[in-house]
Structures are given as C-alpha cells and as structure tokens.
Structure 1
Amino acid sequence: MSNLNKLPIEAIKSDFMATLNQHSTLLLTAPPGAGKSTCLPLWLLTLTSLADKKIYLLQPRRLAAKNIACYLAQQLGEPVGETIGYRLRNESNVSERTRLEVITEGILTQFMQQDVELSRCGLVVFDEFHERSLHGDLAFALCRDIQQGLREDLKILLMSATLATQSIAKQLPDAKTLCSEGRSFPVSISYQAPSNMRLWRQHALAVIKSKLVSHRGSILVFLPSTGDIRYLAQQLQPSMPDHKLLCPLYGQLSLAQQQQAIAPAPAGYSKLVLATNIAETSLTIEGVDLVIDSGLENVAIYDVQTLSNKLTQRSIAKASAIQRAGRAGRLQAGHCLRLYSYDDFQRRNEQASSEIQQADLLPMLMEVARWGATACQQLPMIELPNASREKLAWQELIDLALVSEQHQLTRLGKLAAALPCHPRFAKMLLSASQLEQSQQEPHLLSLACLYAALLEERDIFTAEQRQANSDISLRMSLLLQQPKKAQHRRIIVQAQRLFQTLCQQIDSRQRATDFCQQLALLPLTHSGLLLLLAFPERLAQQRAQQGHYLTAQGKGVIMSLDDALVVQPYLVLAQYFQRQQQLTVALAATVDLSQALAWNIVQLSSKTQLAYEQKQQRIRSTEQQMIAALIIRETNSNEKPQPEQLLACWCQQISQRGLSWLKFDASTQALLMRWRWLNQTQSHLALPEVSEQHLLANLALWLGPYLVNITRKTQLDKLNMTEILMAQLSYPQQQMLAQYAPSYFIGPTGRKGKIRYSLQQAPVVSLPMQELYGLSQTPSVGDSRHNSEVPLIIEILSPAQRPIQITQDLVAFWQGSYREVQKDMKAKYPKHFWPDDPANAQATRKMKKQLK
C-alpha cells in the first residue's frame, strides 16, 4: 500500500496489536477517516489469541453494520457470510465459517442472555461508542460484568471518533488508552440562518436549489427526519440537473438504495444525498465536498405523562455539528454550510444528552431482570438512569405482571423477555395466546402479532388520513387490504416472525399454520381487548363533556369532536400526545367492557366512597365498582360510614373551602387572634401553632376526634370551636394565655374594656377618659418578666363613647395634649368632671353633681 493510500490507523498497528494482546480492555480514539471501522477489524483476524474465537463488532446503526460487513468482506475478496458476516434484527448473513460478525447492540445482549459466559467469543468491539445508545450502554455493562466476574480473558475494545476518554477511563481503571491521528482535509464553515426557524424547510429548499446550480461536486444534506427527506426529494426532483443523482439515505431503505447513496457516483455525475444523522459517523459517502447542515435532529424522548416515546425535533449538539462538518473533508478539502447562525452554534450544548436519560427504560429493565439484577446500579454501567425514572419504569413492569415486587421476572415475564418486541407487546402476545385457547377465539394471536408489528412502525395513515381519525382498526383494515405495499409488507413479515416465535415457544403444533392464510379471518372486533392487554392503564371512560375521557391511570385526555370514536363510552388508547397542556388521543380502539371483564382482562374492585352533597349539606355514602381510577357503577350504601372515612371526607371539604366554612363565632375569632398575637410577640412561651395554614394542614389532629359521628353540616356548626381549640392547650398554657393576652383590661372603676388584638399593631382598648383618671402608667400585655411586654394602644372616649384621642403613652398625654382636649370637653360636656391634674384625680363614672 502506497503512503498516499495508507490509512492513518496503520501508524499505530504494532502498538495496538501489542496492547490488545497484553490487556483485556482498550480505549481507542481515532478521528473520522482514520480507518478504525474499515481497516482495523481485519487486523483482529490475524491475532493468534483469537484464532478459535468469535469477534463481535458492534455498530449502533443497522445501515452502518450491513455496509461495513460488506466492505470488509470485499477487502478479503469474499462474499458476506464467509469470514465476515452480519446479524441484525430479523436479518442475518453468517455461516459456520464466520469469524467476525458485525452486529447491533441488541443482538449482543441476546447472545449474552443465552450464553452468560459468551463462551464462543474472544473480543467484543464497541464502535462509535460516543453515540451512547441505551442498548449499547446495557450491552457494555453485561459484557463488562462477564469480564469481571466470569471471564478475565474476554477482551473489550471501545472505539470512537470523539470518545470522552478521560471520563470513561475513570470508570475503567484497568483500561489502556490509544489514540490515532486522523486524515482529514480542511473544511471551511459558513452560516446562513433562515429569517424564521418555523420555515426552515423552505429555507433549506432554496439553499439546496442554489447549490445544485453553483456546485459541481457531491452534496450531503443532513435533515432531521425521513419525512423531511421525502418532502425535499419531491420538491427537488423536477429541478435536478442532468449530472446530479438524487439519493435519499435512511434506515428503512433497501440495501441497494443505501449502497447507491454511499458508493461513488458514475463518471461524469455527482450526487445530492439527503440523509438523517445516520450519515454522521461510520459511513463514508464518496465524493462529498459540501455538507449542508440543518442543525436539527429527531429524537425519541420518553414522556412520563403519556408513558410512551415522543418524537421530538431539537437542535443538535456542537459535537454532532462538528461530526457533520467533517464529512465534507474525508477525501478532499470541503465546505460546510450551516443553516443556522454562528451565535446559535455557540449557544449549543457541547454533547447531546445520553439516551439512557431520555429513553423508555422498560426494554432495558426487562434485560436487567433477565440477567438476575434487581437495579441498574448492580451492573457496571457507564452511566445510570435517573433514579426516579427507573423506579417508575420498574412499577410499570410490576403493573404488567412481568416482574415481581422484588424486580424478579415472573413466569410470564420470563416468556416475554425472550420475545423480540417491546415488553408491553410481549405481554399482549402471550395473553392473546392464552385467551385464544381458553375462550375458543381462533386467530386472536395472529391479530395480536399484527398489532405489535403495526404499533412499532410509524403510522401507516398519511397526515391527511390522520385528521380526526384515531381508530386503529381502520389502520389494520388498510394494512390487510394492501398487503404488498412496502411498509405494509414489512409489518406483515415482522408479525409473521413474532407468530412463528410464539408457536415455537409454546409448542403449539395445531396452530403452526400458514400465517398469511389467517389474515382474512382476523377478529378485528377484538382489537380493543388486545390493546388493553398491552396498555391496561389506558382504558378510558367517557366523561360528561363529549370528547373528554378519563383514563384508568387518572389522566384526563381529549379527542376531536369530529372523530368517529368520540361517541364510544369506553376506549383503549394506543397512543396519545401532549398539545397545549392537554393530552390528546392519537390512536385508539373501542372496547367492550363487559367482554373485557368476562375474559378477566380487567378486574373490578369495590370500595365505599363518601362524598359531601352541597344541596343537602350532608355526607353521602356510596358503593363504587371501580377499575383503577374509573368508576364503573355506583349505588347508595346503607352501611354506617367508618370513622376514618368520615374524618377524611370532612377534612377534604374543610381544606377545600377554608376555615371560614367552619362556624368560628366572635369568641373563637378573638381567641385565635390572642393566641396568634402571643405566638408572634411572645415566642418564648412556645404555644402551639394556630395559623390558618397550620390548622388546615392538621385538621385530623385537633378537629378529628369531634368529627367521627357527624354526617351533616348542621351538626358540624353546633361544635363549640372555642372549647375545641382551647383543648389543644395544657392547663399551664391556658393560664399563660389568660395572663399574657387577657381578653379584657379592667380599668380603675372596674369597667372591663375588651382588648382588640392584631398582628399588624399593638393591642387596642377603648375606655372613657373619666375612667382613666389616676393612671400614671400605660397598661400593657405580654410577659414583663421576659421584657417582652407591649403597652396597649388606648382609644380614649368622650362621654358619648366617641374617640377623642389615641395614645400608647398615657403619662405623656396627661402632661401634654390633655389641656386642649380638656377645653374642648368642658365646652361640649360641662356637666362632666374635667380635672386639671388627671394623673392624680379619682377615676369616676359619675357626673359633677353626683360627685358633690
């Protein structure tokens, strides 16, 4: 090989081979184009230590796995399936002579579950490990567990263009690290953002059309979804130059179509490749020297509200943007045009969130339980999922009866774990198989297999067909009417594989008939019953307002009023999504609840429920037949309510309506204000808290004992709330309340002036001025021994009981403004006593003539 054609990875070959011979775990960083995926795997075949062992090369993407296997086999001058082969889900090309298998992570997980020592394998290579898929993280954890606990000789090689070596090396202290220089050509970057991001498709279309005219070389366009690819391909097809080939590139295409996008263009031609982020790594697309990057990607994020994956469009991270730009410089100098601004690029995250933090954890946890672990932290994982999300996922599996409370696989779970589909659908298939026999319902399993395959594909209805049309049975009818359509055929083939797997698993010879012959006989009326097996918490009951449903999980969902299913009393929701803070039905089926009960798919539970009737102002007792949160039937109950039920019902009503709903008379209000004033100003007394918030939060403690036999509001209103509140205080505390926050101030004449307490100012007392004569000190409340007494605000009244002065310093009043008040009072009330020295005069209630 000439130096010109020599791949950069060749420079570390001797170091790599020596290190791999001596160590069990190796981290290799090599930039795109170095040859780590297309050259290095062939070296592994020459290692004598691996001569009699399998080598598994893991690729995170099906497209890359198949193409790399084909390329490596071509380098050996052999067809795929000889020395080099591949295994994908539902597709494989290997033989007894195959030594190196290129596989996806899920395949490796199944190998390890079936052979816990991975006895035939000598080396596992994790390529593009930086992509950190959920299956990849699990496969690595199981592989590492085998290496640490069962087989020290098992070798693990992690390879990536952007491997975060330092962080991973900390978790793999025994690993050795190697780095290869890459071979890349300079790539210039420019930015061309749309004026409105919501119109990015139209902007991308205009830019691509412009480059088709001005650029002679091949162009690679990164787009978020296959829908975007199909849209742009349709718009561009009429304006494609004669020398340009339009090549879509995504996972669902046939191998021939994928190879056309990857292979060099014929002489005199160049290509326009429209690809998802599948083209970011692993694949080298020949001849590309211009990359147009939308800066967007579609990611499946698990939504805990809907308990399902939600396809979300988001901005890519900086690392992905750099990877995309690098595709223009793999074979020559190139250019990357980013359809967003430089400032936008600078604001983006350095790395994308790992899949384990945002994906549906149910399939992974099934494998964790199958491995014998009861929590992810028991495995040597690179990163653990969020603890609360893991807890919720375990509970989902418990509710589906697939794992026990101890997170161990149940009998049903063991069977489900062996099926190549989501745990929910595996539960549906196994239960359908049992029902087919117990209920004498032929072809129920076949229908369940079709629904499992249908729901794991994108919706077969077009956007126009989906408008106000959630009925999933109509999708099934369309599928069966057009079985030869490419997407429909793919679904039917997958369903057939599931059916055959089930028949082998349960050894049912009498049903091992031709699957396709059953398609015309499928019992579509049972669609809802089957879906209920997979989604028991999504049974939905129509509410009073049409178009509104309540699920068994207690979530409210809405449906378009134009939808034909909107009149159905019960539905099972296969898919729903969040729109403007409301959960909206996307796919559903009508369900016969009486048959679901008869077949024991759902079970009724009974409970006595108390409810407050506002009109009669009483608590009514009813007997409710329920399915989870749904009330199926309700009848009046003649049984006497249990005390704890009465207490809970009254507490709920009072909490909703507030303390004002209770009959707190003036005496009770005054008591509370005195008590709260003491708590605010005399905290050293440590009296119990009686704020409204605290009283509402602790109703059961202070009011509960008095509610156990009360069923009517009139009875509640007769309770003496003052006595009930005072009962919360011990006798010494009651004495302190009376001493330091008395209800009345007794003046020199013996008159009791009511003290009005407030949390905003000092307490106030109102007394006629003549009855204050002789007081040389302002009266106060509070604890004088603790220096926390508070002088009362004195509202001084005229003989007509009208306020004439307010003071909190009586001595200063006698010595000061009293003179002016005296003159005024003598003029208005000459018959009353107005002394010149009030501080030393005798307090009186009498007029002057009575005094004489």
Structure 2
Amino acid sequence: MLTAKKLPIDDIKDDVIAALNQYQTLLLTAPPGAGKSTCLPLWLLDLACLSDQKIYLLQPRRLAAKNIACYLAQQLGENVGETVGYRLRNESKTSKNTRLEVITEGILTQIIQHDAELSGCGLVVFDEFHERSLNADLAFALTRDIQQGLREDLKILLMSATLATQAINQQLPDAIALESKGRSYPVDISYQAPSNARFWRQHALSVLKSVVNAHQGSILMFLPGTGDIRYLAEQLQPFMPENMTLCPLYGELSLQQQQQAIAPAPRDHHKLVLATNIAETSLTIEGVDLVIDSGLENVAIYDVQTLNNKLSQRSIAKSSAIQRAGRAGRLQAGHCIRLYSKDDFERRNEQSGSEIQQADLLPMLMEVARWGANACAQLPMIEMPNAKNEQLAWQELTDLGLVSAQHQLTGDGKLAAAFPCHPRFAKMLLAAAQLEQSQQVEHLLTLACLYAALLEERDIFSAEQRADNCDITQRIIQLLQQAKKPQHLRIIQQAQRLYRVANQQHSHINNNKTAGSANTTKRFCNNATQLPLQCSGLLLMLAYPERLAKQRDHQGNYLTAYGKGLVMSNNDALADKKYLVAVQFFQRQQTLAIALAAEISLSQALNWQVVEVASKTQLHFDHKQNRIRCANQQVIGSLVISEENTRQKLSAELLVECWCQQIRKRGLSWLKFDEQTQQLLLRWRWLNQTQNHLAFENVSETHLLTTLEQWLGPYLADIISKAQLDKLNFSEVLLTQLSYQQQQIFNQLAPSYFTGPTGRKCKIRYSLDQAPIVSLPMQELYGVSITPSVGDKNHNSQVALIIELLSPAQRPIQITQDLVAFWQGSYREVQKDMRSKYPKHFWPDDPANAQATRKTKRHIKG
C-alpha cells in the first residue's frame, strides 16, 4: 500500500473501527476534504468483522464512483478491478478478488432485487447521503429492510458532510453518530450580485473576464445547466490566457471527458472549470483556489399536469452554497465569489428539498412492487413521498398493466422490471416485440428501442430546429443520419442494449422457440429508411395511452384521452393531423403546448387491438333545437371517436346530469327566473346575511350551481326542452329546501310587503348592500311613532326599514330610517314645502299623533 498523507479522518479511525465492530448502523459526519471517501474505505478492508465479505461503497454520481475506485486501487498499489473495483450502468471493472465495489445507488437496488439477502456482503456505505436522491432513498430503504428482517449482521454506514439532521436521527434510533472535525483552509467570501437578476449570465461573463487574466490559479465556476456552460465557454474563448484551459464538466459528458476536466493541470498551467453541481461533492479538482458560484441549479421536477419531468432553475440552499465555497479551500486557502447578495444568501433555505417530493415516482414504485411491498409505507424509508402523488403513480402503473389493483407486479410488470429504462418505455418494448412478430412488421422493435433511448435524453434538436417542429420521427431520422455525434451515439448504444434485453424477454415469453431465437440474432437497424416510421404514433401510445389526442374545433387544438387540452403552432407540420400521440408538452401561459408528438393511424391501432374503444350513451344539448338529444358514442377515454343520434328513451339520471352540465356552463342567469323568484332570492340572501342564527340553506349563485342536483335535479327527470324548463315555478322549487316551519319564519322575518296604517301593501325592496327599502306616501304614515323593521326581534337582529316618503304625486320627498327623529326635525321644512305645492292635502303640525290617511282635506272634513 502506498504511504498516504495524514488526513483529518485519521483522528477518529479508532472510534470508527470500534463503532463498526460493536454496532450495525453508523452515522458519520465529516466536512469535504476530511478523507471519508478516499481514506476511510481502505480501513474497512482490514476489519475482522468484515473478513472475506464484500463492501459496497455507494456514490451518487458515476464520475465520482469511477474516480474514487481508481484512487483507492492506486493507494493499494493495484489496478482497479482487483481488490477495489467499480460497477456503473453499462460499465464495470471487478474480478473474483474484488472486495470493495464502488457503485451508484441504482446499481445497489438491482443487486438487491437479484439477491434479497445481499449474500456475501458485510457492509453497505452510503457516501454523500445528504444529497438525498430518489435512488439513494430507495437503495437505503431496501438495505435497511434486509438488515431489519433478513440480515441482523449486515452493517450500514451513512456518510455525509451535513448528515446529522433530526429526521435521519429519528428514523435510525439504533444508530451511533460520529463526527470528524475535518480540516479546511480558510475561504474568503465576497458577494457580487448583478444589478438585474434576469441578466445573470451576462454578469457572470463580466466577472469571469475580469478574473481569468488576473488570477494565478485554477478556477471552478458553478452554473445551473449545460446551456449556461456552453454559452459562457463560447463567449470566453477569445479572452482565455495561454496558460489556462477551459474545461466543461457536466453529467452528459462521457466519463473520459469528465476525468479530463478534473485531472491535474500541467506544471505552470491552470484550468477554468465550468461545472454543474456535479462538482459540488466527492471530486477534488487540483489547484482550484477560486470558486465562482452562480447560486443557481437546474432541478428536474415531475409535473403532474404534463406527466413529464420539467427542468426548473432555482436558487441553491445554504448547505449547497457552503459546499461550493468549500471547494476553494480543499488544498489551500482560497476565495469564493458569490454572484448574489449576502442578504439573498441569508434568506435561503438551510437544505434543498428532497427529490422524493418532486420526482416521477413510477420507476421507484416498480422497484417497491418488485421487492414485494405494495406501498412505500411498508419500507423503512427516511422520508415518505406525498401520499397523493404516490397514489396517482400507482394508478398510472395499474393503467399500464404493470401492477395489479393490489400493487403487485403483473406478468408484464415482472418482465418490464428487467429493462434499464422507464416503466412506460419497458411496456412499449414488450408490446413492440410481440407486435413485430404477430403483425409481421420488420424493425418495429428496433424503432421502439430508439424511441425509448431518445426520450430519456434531452431533445437532440436545437432551439431553432424545434420551432414549429413537434414531429418526433424527424428526430429519429437526424439521430441515425448523425450517428457519430457523442449524444447521438450514446442514444443508439442505449437502444442497442434495450434491444438485447427485449429479445431476451421475448424469447422467455415464447419459451425459446424459433421465433424468439430468430429475433435475438437479428442485426440492429441503424438505417432510418428501413424503419416503420409510420408506426411511430402507435408505438408511443403503448407508452402513453392517455396521450392519444384528437383535433378539436380548429387546427392545432387537441383534446387528449385523459381530458387535457393541448395546443400546437398552426405552422407545425403535424397541426392538421386528426389524431396524434402527444409525447411531451409544456406549460405556455394558460395552456399546455405540445413539444413532441407523432401522428397515429387510429384504424391501425384498432386493427392491431392496442387500444380499447368503449360504447357510451351520451346526452348533449342541441343549441339549434333548444332541447336535449341522445347519441350512442364510441369513446377512448375523453375522446369521441364516432357518434350516432338515437331516439331511445332517456333515463332520468342522464337527463339530470346533462341539464346540470348545461346550466353550469351557461350560468344561473340562463334559467328563466321571473321577478318573484329574483325577489325571493334577494330576501333569502338578505336573511342569510343578517339573520345567520336561522341557519337557512345557502342560496348564493355559486352554491346553487354547485348543488343543482340536490335542489333542481328532482324536477329535471322528465324535461327534454328548454321551453319545458322555463315553465318551472322556480320560487316553489327553491322553497322546497326549507321545511314548512322555516317557510313560515321566512315570510314573517323577511316579508315581501309592508302594510301601512291605511291598509296599503307596499313592496319591500331587499338589498345586500343596505337595509331594505319601502316607498309610500308620507300621509299614510301619520301616527306611526316607531320605525317599521324586519328581522328577528326576539334575537335582537331586527333591521329598521329605510322609508322613502312620497308626495301625493308619488315623487320622493324624503328618506329616513328614523321616523321619530323625522317627525321632530326636518318634517317642518317638508311640511312648509308640501303645503305650498299640495294645499288640498292634509299636513298636520303633529304628524306623530295625527290620523294616517289617503284622502284630501275636503274628504277628511266630510
């Protein structure tokens, strides 16, 4: 073994070894650079309790896994693949002598699914566990389940720079926690926020231009995404000094390209590394003493509206900002420039949101079902997903036929679980293999494999190419025409791997008969002209059955089988197609816009029996005839494929449903409420507003529309025309919501009329903005010394009426809500005016004690 320099982690070596000898679960917190990834694993090889047992060391990223494996092997003086090896997706270096395997979390899940007891493994180490990826959470839950139920001797070590969170400690009450203080060099922090956050790229470019020539050392800049890296790399190229190399570093690069970015720079030479958060942990880039932090990251968040992962840019948490700054002080004192303000930093969340709350759950739930559980709650997970999101994901898997109603894998589900791709695409590949044979369509499986690989990568079209071009078949053509481009080559290689697995599964279904063997030996097709591109929509519908879309009222406007409306540019080549499969779409203002789609022949889908059509009796309102019509429909989900009018007797239930839909669409004003009904509603709403102790039914417009079935439904069961509907006595219909006793109270507390001393009935006008109003001649109120009121006197909630006093000519002369005050006050002025205008009428000096009258003075005297 090579002699390594002493690292901070060495100070707690004895404690770690003692803890692993005594306990089954250990939590280790150590800051970046302490040696937990590059030193501690080698101690494990000498532990007596792990003698002759395998150790799995998990890393969240492929680049870190490979580099750490190579470094550890070098420390032992061996080649990687001997005592220390690595296993990644599609690449591994191990041997029968390998005891320490550095792997990614997804690899561990697959190992466990094939070996439920982790036979021969003594310890699983989860490094950088604070990153809390969905794969890490699942791998930990399965490992913990084995430890608790099958292997009491299995040990688990969780390592992180910021691990000791309350939630994890609560989930692992049996664990012992250790901490390494670490050793880090001082990092000076400065803040250079842009004047306008929208133009942060230009600000970042300006900062870089100012430091690349002035700084004598290597620079690491954290950026949110690959597009930002490409933009800055292109803009910076003319300003780079001769002794500085510009190196991009992100996940889509090959491992070889990523290793070149982190390799030590030649003597007297420096690097400018433009990286995503792939460089935030585990990796040490030699010579870096300046970090520039954009403060941003791109995160894939599953959108339940589009059923796709949506890449969102967001501010990083404080913990990530601290990790990034720490990269400048790994090997020497350094400096960090944050391209945001100090106040902004202080306002940020302490930790990033966990992936399990924002990711597509389908792949994880397939593994949960494969393990034999039917809910996440049956596993010892650090954190449970949102219950509603989990329920929706289970339903999606059920609709795909991959799990049963009890969340157990179906026959197709067991086969699909073997594919290294999303469950939707696995379902497509299984069906494509069967259809290729049953329908005798050559290269159908090849095309399905290409689509599965293509859709798990970012769009290969540039932004300019994507404009008015949603056709996914054009991507396949370009993919194969430019097969040597790195991204294209990666997609094709993944398609070839999927093709091999699909053939193996199909051979298994056919019990290794000749047909299956012939498929296995078929050469993978890389020529677009040989592919059945006309079947693209059909294949993609197998993965996304709910995304079958039919053109609606005009070009570029579609409705999907699961009821979502989609739009497409009128200039797109697919905009005039009657049926599409909308593979991907995105939110654009208030609508969902199609990003990728393929035309589909519905007749072919029906002939191949890959889509089910249901029969449905549907009522609809005929606006020309103003009546309800009945039609027999053939439907796929929300899509009406064909429709035929019928004269069959309409059921009461369907009639009520149709009328309620129509009324809600048009609004309550569409109903022919006469004056009586409108006044009834005003009185009722006034009572509910001022006499809420009565607890009468809510009759607001919103509530009436919501509860149409309850109050109006019983009267709609035999109505088929709008003319019949208009003849309903809506006042009587509404009053049926009140008991007889309530109706009596209603009329008593909110009467329609006020009856004055002369016996005249005057209509009371109710309002929700002020007290009710009644209008009548002033002479008919003589002798009234108490202002009339409505409401419940026994409950002290009566309301005085607003009295509009009229002249003998029925013109308003005064408004009051206090008759006593009026008689004693402003009446004198009114009296003088009235006597001059209407001398034949009676205008007493003491109206409060006079006799109310409708007559003139001559008739009174007589």
TM-score strictly above 0.5: yes
Asked if 1 retains the 8 angstrom alpha-carbon contact of 2:616 and 2:632, the reply is yes
Name 1:639's counterpart in structure 2. Answer: 648
Distance of aligned partners of 1:6 and 1:618 in 2 relative to their CA distance in 1, 3 Å threshold: same
Distance of aligned partners of 1:440 and 1:815 in 2 relative to their CA distance in 1, 3 Å threshold: same
SS in 2 for 1:428: helix
Bigger mean CA offset, 473-482 vs 616-625: 616-625
C-alpha distance in 2 between matches for 1:315 and 1:838 = 77
Question: In the alignment, does 2:613 pair up with 1:601?
Answer: no
SS in 2 for 1:360: coil
Name 1:192's counterpart in structure 2. Answer: 192
Tell me how far 1:833 sits from its aligned partner: 5.2
Bigger mean CA offset, 516-525 vs 169-178: 516-525
C-alpha distance in 2 between matches for 1:612 and 1:157 = 66
Tell me how far 1:323 sits from its aligned partner: 1.5
C-alpha distance in 2 between matches for 1:643 and 1:551 = 29
Name 1:522's counterpart in structure 2. Answer: 531
For 1:298-317, what aligned pairs fall within 5 Å after superposition? 298-317=298-317
Q: What do residues 449-497 of structure 1 show as CA deviations (whole Å, max 9, x unaligned)?
A: 1111111122222333323222211121122223333322222221111
Question: In the alignment, does 2:729 pair up with 1:720?
Answer: yes
Q: What do residues 288-321 of structure 1 show as CA deviations (whole Å, max 9, x unaligned)?
A: 2222323222221212221111222222222222
Name 2:512's counterpart in structure 1. Answer: none
Tell me how far 1:797 sits from its aligned partner: 4.2
Distance of aligned partners of 1:603 and 1:84 in 2 relative to their CA distance in 1, 3 Å threshold: same
Name 2:115's counterpart in structure 1. Answer: 115
For 1:237-316, what aligned pairs fall within 5 Å after superposition? 237-316=237-316
Name 1:543's counterpart in structure 2. Answer: 552
Asked if 1 retains the 8 angstrom alpha-carbon contact of 2:583 and 2:597, the reply is yes
Question: In the alignment, does 2:628 pair up with 1:619?
Answer: yes
What code does the residue aligned with 1:659 have? L
Tell me how far 1:346 sits from its aligned partner: 2.8
% same residue: 74
Tell me how far 1:8 sits from its aligned partner: 1.7
Question: In the alignment, does 2:38 pair up with 1:30?
Answer: no
Asked if 2 retains the 8 angstrom alpha-carbon contact of 1:814 and 1:838, the reply is yes
Q: What do residues 744-781 of structure 1 show as CA deviations (whole Å, max 9, x unaligned)?
A: 44445444344444445554444445555565655555
Distance of aligned partners of 1:785 and 1:422 in 2 relative to their CA distance in 1, 3 Å threshold: closer
Question: In the alignment, does 2:169 pair up with 1:169?
Answer: yes
Name 2:517's counterpart in structure 1. Answer: 509
What code does the residue aligned with 2:544 have? F
C-alpha distance in 2 between matches for 1:787 and 1:325 = 69
C-alpha distance in 2 between matches for 1:232 and 1:819 = 87
Name 1:141's counterpart in structure 2. Answer: 141
Name 2:348's counterpart in structure 1. Answer: 348
Question: In the alignment, does 2:222 pair up with 1:214?
Answer: no
Name 1:445's counterpart in structure 2. Answer: 445
SS in 2 for 1:454: helix
Tell me how far 1:532 sits from its aligned partner: 1.0
Distance of aligned partners of 1:415 and 1:798 in 2 relative to their CA distance in 1, 3 Å threshold: same
Name 1:383's counterpart in structure 2. Answer: 383
C-alpha distance in 1 between matches for 2:46 and 2:106 = 27
C-alpha distance in 2 between matches for 1:312 and 1:396 = 24
Distance of aligned partners of 1:668 and 1:192 in 2 relative to their CA distance in 1, 3 Å threshold: closer
For 1:760-839, what aligned pairs fall within 5 Å after superposition? 760-768=769-777, 771-772=780-781, 779-784=788-793, 789-790=798-799, 792-807=801-816, 825=834, 827-832=836-841
Asked if 1 retains the 8 angstrom alpha-carbon contact of 2:762 and 2:775, the reply is yes
Tell me how far 1:612 sits from its aligned partner: 2.6
Aligned residue pairs, count: 852
SS in 1 for 2:442: coil
Bigger mean CA offset, 797-806 vs 54-63: 797-806
C-alpha distance in 1 between matches for 2:787 and 2:482 = 98
For 1:3-22, what aligned pairs fall within 5 Å after superposition? 5-22=5-22
Bigger mean CA offset, 4-13 vs 194-203: 194-203
C-alpha distance in 2 between matches for 1:55 and 1:575 = 41
What code does the residue aligned with 1:428 have? M
Bigger mean CA offset, 91-100 vs 649-658: 649-658
C-alpha distance in 1 between matches for 2:740 and 2:367 = 64
Distance of aligned partners of 1:689 and 1:574 in 2 relative to their CA distance in 1, 3 Å threshold: closer
Unaligned runs of 5+ in 1: none
C-alpha distance in 2 between matches for 1:501 and 1:168 = 38
C-alpha distance in 1 between matches for 2:386 and 2:472 = 33
Distance of aligned partners of 1:712 and 1:149 in 2 relative to their CA distance in 1, 3 Å threshold: same
C-alpha distance in 1 between matches for 2:850 and 2:485 = 112
Name 1:575's counterpart in structure 2. Answer: 584
Asked if 2 retains the 8 angstrom alpha-carbon contact of 1:223 and 1:276, the reply is yes
Asked if 1 retains the 8 angstrom alpha-carbon contact of 2:804 and 2:816, the reply is yes
Bigger mean CA offset, 604-613 vs 793-802: 793-802
C-alpha distance in 2 between matches for 1:359 and 1:687 = 47
Bigger mean CA offset, 726-735 vs 581-590: 726-735
Q: What do residues 779-810 of structure 1 show as CA deviations (whole Å, max 9, x unaligned)?
A: 55555555555555554444444445555555
What code does the residue aligned with 2:388 have? S
Name 2:671's counterpart in structure 1. Answer: 662
Distance of aligned partners of 1:607 and 1:826 in 2 relative to their CA distance in 1, 3 Å threshold: same
Asked if 2 retains the 8 angstrom alpha-carbon contact of 1:443 and 1:518, the reply is no
Name 2:393's counterpart in structure 1. Answer: 393
What code does the residue aligned with 1:416 have? A
What code does the residue aligned with 1:356 have? I
What code does the residue aligned with 2:93 have? N
C-alpha distance in 1 between matches for 2:855 and 2:728 = 43
C-alpha distance in 2 between matches for 1:190 and 1:838 = 86
Tell me how far 1:838 sits from its aligned partner: 5.7
Bigger mean CA offset, 580-589 vs 169-178: 580-589
Tell me how far 1:147 sits from its aligned partner: 0.6
Tell me how far 1:705 sits from its aligned partner: 1.8
Asked if 1 retains the 8 angstrom alpha-carbon contact of 2:63 and 2:259, the reply is no
Q: CA RMSD in A?
A: 2.8
Distance of aligned partners of 1:803 and 1:448 in 2 relative to their CA distance in 1, 3 Å threshold: closer
C-alpha distance in 2 between matches for 1:609 and 1:708 = 16
C-alpha distance in 2 between matches for 1:515 and 1:330 = 51
Asked if 2 retains the 8 angstrom alpha-carbon contact of 1:756 and 1:763, the reply is yes
Question: In the alignment, does 2:470 pair up with 1:462?
Answer: no
Distance of aligned partners of 1:798 and 1:600 in 2 relative to their CA distance in 1, 3 Å threshold: same
Distance of aligned partners of 1:523 and 1:19 in 2 relative to their CA distance in 1, 3 Å threshold: same
What code does the residue aligned with 1:571 have? L
Question: In the alignment, does 2:433 pair up with 1:433?
Answer: yes
Distance of aligned partners of 1:146 and 1:615 in 2 relative to their CA distance in 1, 3 Å threshold: same
Name 2:565's counterpart in structure 1. Answer: 556
SS in 2 for 1:578: strand
Distance of aligned partners of 1:513 and 1:667 in 2 relative to their CA distance in 1, 3 Å threshold: same
Asked if 2 retains the 8 angstrom alpha-carbon contact of 1:70 and 1:80, the reply is yes
- Equivalent residue for 1:653, pick from 653, 659, 662: 662
What code does the residue aligned with 2:225 have? S
Question: In the alignment, does 2:628 pair up with 1:630?
Answer: no
Tell me how far 1:129 sits from its aligned partner: 0.9
Name 1:182's counterpart in structure 2. Answer: 182
